[in-house]
Structure 1
């Protein structure tokens, strides 16, 4: 289990697959309160043929560290890891907040991003009424209840309750400071007006039942992308674990399509 010290944080990561495999490395970036194991299915599939890198963002999973205030700071952590691993060009695959990090990387270092995949992510945070009420209540309810409510509503109807409880327990181990600070960072994230600058071929893949970041918001973003493919899957916000095989097939199809 390799680790890297970066600006007061210890980042835990996996670096798998052949160094001389097909294509540039895939870099999987998880979302808020999650960890690198959200990508287990995709890593198992792709690491047989190409280099695959994933990490626990600072304060998440098996990575330590706090004090991060912005999505840009998380993006710098990812770049520090890639520089350490001597990876120049790469394909970021980001889920939710990880998609925000991916877009930040594509805007700040376009020469390094070969392609990009955004899973249940958006370029500008806009809240519906339910999300707004949850935000307003966040300062008044117990922390664990706040986390549980967010994770519970991330899954499509019918997803096994016992599995949801597993993810709630895992998310609850993320330090309160990290959870609440990055919640604010996502609220402040807005690169929608800069999306036309991202010329890398991009796959926008979204769960139809996502109420955290609704499909309508993703479609608004899609209109701004110069070179985007859109896929909608019958799932909620947690597409990587709700429909892992379908997500992997969509990634495979996108990666094998010539730019």
Structure 2
């Protein structure tokens, strides 16, 4: 199994922009897509006019819980079935909007375990906290009141 390097996701985005003949873009991303957009602004600043980041963490190691839980979660994603992974993700992501549960379960049914493990590994290794100062473009940050990935719960 070939793993995805976290920086590869932003270089893939730039390759897509090249293919579409876009010299520069306003990037908008949700969660992982926001973090990929942020890393693109950090690593390819001339390509990003501005950012809209929705529920997008810049790190998976902001506190002791994340430093311990994320590696365990990364490892366990290799061991548990896709059905169980889907149910766990759907339950967590549907806490405040139960209608999301079926949508998330359906999305999980369309991805292979190998691809899920590769994506989850890359996503949980993305780290931008120490490079935020390199993102010089105007940026709009949007987070929900219950977004545990971007700020502490109340």
TM-score, normalised on structure 2?
0.82
Map of 1:123 onto structure 2:
58
Q: How does 1:138-153 map to 2 (within 5 A)?
A: 138-153=77-92
Q: C-alpha distance in 2, partners of 1:83/1:190?
A: 24
Give the secondary-structure state (helix, strand or coil) at the position aligned to 2:80: coil
CA distance in 1, matches of 2:150, 2:53: 14
RMSD: 2.6
Aligned residues of 2:29 and 2:35 also touching (Cα < 8 A) = yes
Decide whether aligned partners of structure 1 residues 193 and 171 sit closer, same or farther in structure 2, where only a CA change above 3 A counts: same
The structure with the largest helix share of the pair is 2
Q: Structure 1 CA distance, aligned partners of 2:139 and 2:94?
A: 24
Tell whether 2:20 aligns with 1:82: no
Distance of 2:47 and 2:79 partners within structure 1? 43
Report deviation, 1:115: 0.6
Higher relative contact order (CA 8 A, sep 6+): 2
1:204 aligns to 2:141 (yes or no)? yes
Change (3 A) 1:160 1:150: closer
Alignment of 1:144-163 (within 5 A): 144-157=83-96, 159-161=97-99, 163=100
For residues 128 and 37 of structure 2, the distance between their equivalents in structure 1, rounded to whole angstroms, comes to: 12
1:216 aligns with 2:148: no
Q: Which runs of 5+ in 2 are unaligned?
A: none
Q: Kindly tell me: are residues 85 and 208 of structure 1, through their superposed partners in 2, closer, same or farther at Cα, counting changes over 3 Å?
A: same
The structure with the greater share of residues assigned to strand is 1
Aligned with 1:175 (options 112, 117, 141): 112
Considering only CA atoms, is the larger Rg found in Structure 1 or Structure 2? 1
Q: 1:153 Cα deviation (Å)? A: 0.4
